[in-house]
Structure 1
């Protein structure tokens, strides 16, 4: 009898040991997949899961080889501001497989010291994918955004920010109702984004879809963006960017700028925007620079080709007198030098009579601006018009409206 009990005890202990090993492997640094559920995420949409996400990230980042941070599907996760920082020294690549529904806290008091919501920083070979949703719950915060009226204002949190990442891929994610920008890239190198879905109401303030600044080697393609500000905004210090296959609307269009607002801004060079459709937007393709620039910079070598405009208010616009406020402090000309700009195969309809506006700086007029095969008709029935200031553009092929004289 005692011998039987001994064997039974040993068998039970072995089963328990195997069970413990299996459980421990799920959260140990030797595994390749790290699920936020194994680190305490309740995933009920009510309790803050920020700490569980951070613990899972830290474990994955401290591991080695190719690792995955898993956010399981069919669950809702409430998150405050989280910072997923590297470098992850021994990790070859890290994939955030975001299949769940992330909901941002609406308590602005948790975003201290300029915090954004979800930030990835100083990571190499990061992939964010999985079909999940980032819901910024911005409608609660939009009334507190004073930036559209006041140049000196407190900026609300961006939903997803990438800071100085390299070799980053973002695919098949959705961003809803950001408090401020949906996605921001700052100082990133080699970034690929596709199948990104961005959505916010047309009257949501400063909800730029994707903002890019001080980056190089960025490719954004095959994505749908409808929001309350620029679908894509390209800020200072960028080079070698390709934007293609974007369906934009509602929103303010695709913008380079605004540029020239701050001292020591970097140049914008080597930009291609192609094969895009803009529907019902306030602008189409726009280059905008501030008056009274504190320093000089260049915006050069840009090509906009095969763009379809569907009921767009200002299909082609260069505005070097940009000022979104009721009045500006100074009327000093912009010092941003615009040159080597190519508009090719731009077609569709304008909801305003002036379909092409080329308003350049009287201090540094635009140089080498070329329009080829432009066919933009005024939806009101009358012939569309073009206006030009401080520029002598070059024209070829079809030109509707007629070129400025």
Structure 2
């Protein structure tokens, strides 16, 4: 009898041991002193976890410690169906752009080709972007040798059924998070923060990805809080605090003249405070293809320059791009239950193409006023048809044409 009990206990311990195991970067030589390169220790911990035959192996970056990590790629696929990367302490980037000499300047931390990845914890990722901003061509065009391309803090490339949550991101040299070729990805409870002047520091950029959710997060940056690129579909964005920044943007789309395929985008229950834009769509005239089935619902605007805006004639230099007969077809766009204040006199601005007009626009229950007491705001719609009910300012849409 005792022998059987011991067998059961031994079996239970074996099963529990096979379910998860932890790989602390300290055990692979990581040193928390602020100047030692820990990229090799992080890679070794990752490779050990990735090749472990346990159910949910876990890489651990311990709390109350700061680790300098050079540009690094964490490769998959991994043996386990799920793998966790727990950031409890702080990961910092090199402070000087010179550390990227001779390597890809577009990236710092990269996860590639992994299924079931979860990046979590209550730690932080600090991109130390000031050195890059100080030599940015956007801020310093007169500077000889200025840089146009700077690292994204955290890239997910081909990571399916994965996600990132609870991390504090700050001061990325360029975009903070990018997903590309990901199918099934969840972003939850993030704080992203960089100065309002920091160039191209999008909070989250989505490219060529499908079935994503971005929820319950606060984003303050020098560019779009969230931006959605080409070949993207089925995206849920909910409960986002955005500001400062350039708003939540679909686009820009079609810059290279490619065939755009973007659809089923839902932006709900979010707030914009002091942003350049609110609910924004921007496409290049040289683009082709479509953007369709987009819902902006239950949004609040506080002192926003362009609360609702479509720019189908987007150009690097405003007014400098000549009118073309091509364009991305924009249709089935719903704006519902929005309120707040505009810092300019045009609160609703739909600037659509004469050759490829916007169609099937729906506006309902929208109340926008000027952020300046005593001033009025207007709505401006060009080449846009649809229907609107209880919209102030308005009306401005052309009668709806069947599509």
Task: Flag the 1:226–1:333 CA change in 2: closer, same or farther, 3 A.
Answer: farther
Match of 1:158 in 2: 152
Match of 1:78 among 55, 59, 68: 68
Shift in Å, 1:142: 0.6
Shift in Å, 1:30: 11
Give the root-mean-square deviation of aligned CA atoms.
1.9
Q: Distance in 2 between matches of 1:326 and 1:302?
A: 25
Q: Please give the per-residue CA displacement for 1:255-308, whole angstroms capped at 9, x wherever unaligned.
A: 0000110243441100100000000101110000123x1x41100000000000
Shift in Å, 1:392: 2.1
The SS at the match of 1:404 is coil
Alignment of 1:353 onto 2:345: yes
Structure 2, unmatched stretches of 5+, are 1-17, 398-403
Q: Please give the per-residue CA displacement for 1:161-216, whole angstroms capped at 9, x wherever unaligned.
A: 00010111211001100100000011101111110000011111000000001110
Q: Please give the per-residue CA displacement for 1:59-80, whole angstroms capped at 9, x wherever unaligned.
A: 1111112100000010110111
Matched-pair contact (CA < 8 Å) for 2:96–2:131: no
- Whichever of the two has the greater Rg, that structure is 1
The SS at the match of 2:41 is helix
The SS at the match of 2:394 is coil
Match of 2:204 in 1: 210
Match of 2:119 among 121, 128, 131: 128
Task: Flag the 1:375–1:30 CA change in 2: closer, same or farther, 3 A.
Answer: closer
Q: Distance in 2 between matches of 1:321 and 1:272?
A: 23
Q: Stretches of 4+ moved more than 4 A in 1? A: 147-150
The SS at the match of 1:57 is helix
Match of 1:221 among 210, 215, 220: 215
Task: Flag the 1:339–1:296 CA change in 2: closer, same or farther, 3 A.
Answer: same
Query: TM-score, normalization: structure 2?
Result: 0.89
Q: Distance in 2 between matches of 1:349 and 1:132?
A: 35
Structure 1, unmatched stretches of 5+, are 1-28
Q: Distance in 2 between matches of 1:141 and 1:148?
A: 10
Q: Distance in 2 between matches of 1:132 and 1:116?
A: 20
Q: Distance in 1 between matches of 2:24 and 2:175?
A: 28
Query: TM-score, normalization: structure 1?
Result: 0.88
Match of 2:282 in 1: 288
Match of 2:327 in 1: 335
1:232-381 paired onto structure 2 within 5 Å: 232-291=226-285, 293=286, 295-325=287-317, 328=320, 330-333=322-325, 335-380=327-372, 381=374
Q: Distance in 1 between matches of 2:230 and 2:379?
A: 28
Q: Distance in 2 between matches of 1:310 and 1:117?
A: 34
Shift in Å, 1:114: 4.0
Q: Distance in 2 between matches of 1:35 and 1:265?
A: 45
Q: Distance in 2 between matches of 1:192 and 1:211?
A: 13
Alignment of 1:49 onto 2:22: no
Task: Flag the 1:149–1:110 CA change in 2: closer, same or farther, 3 A.
Answer: closer
Shift in Å, 1:236: 0.6
Match of 1:13 in 2: none
Match of 1:186 among 180, 186, 193: 180
Matched-pair contact (CA < 8 Å) for 2:165–2:188: yes
Shift in Å, 1:329: 5.3
Q: Distance in 2 between matches of 1:93 and 1:207?
A: 30
Matched-pair contact (CA < 8 Å) for 1:290–1:334: no
Matched-pair contact (CA < 8 Å) for 1:85–1:123: yes
The SS at the match of 1:140 is helix
Match of 2:4 in 1: none
How many residue pairs were aligned? 372
Match of 2:376 in 1: 383
Matched-pair contact (CA < 8 Å) for 2:133–2:139: no
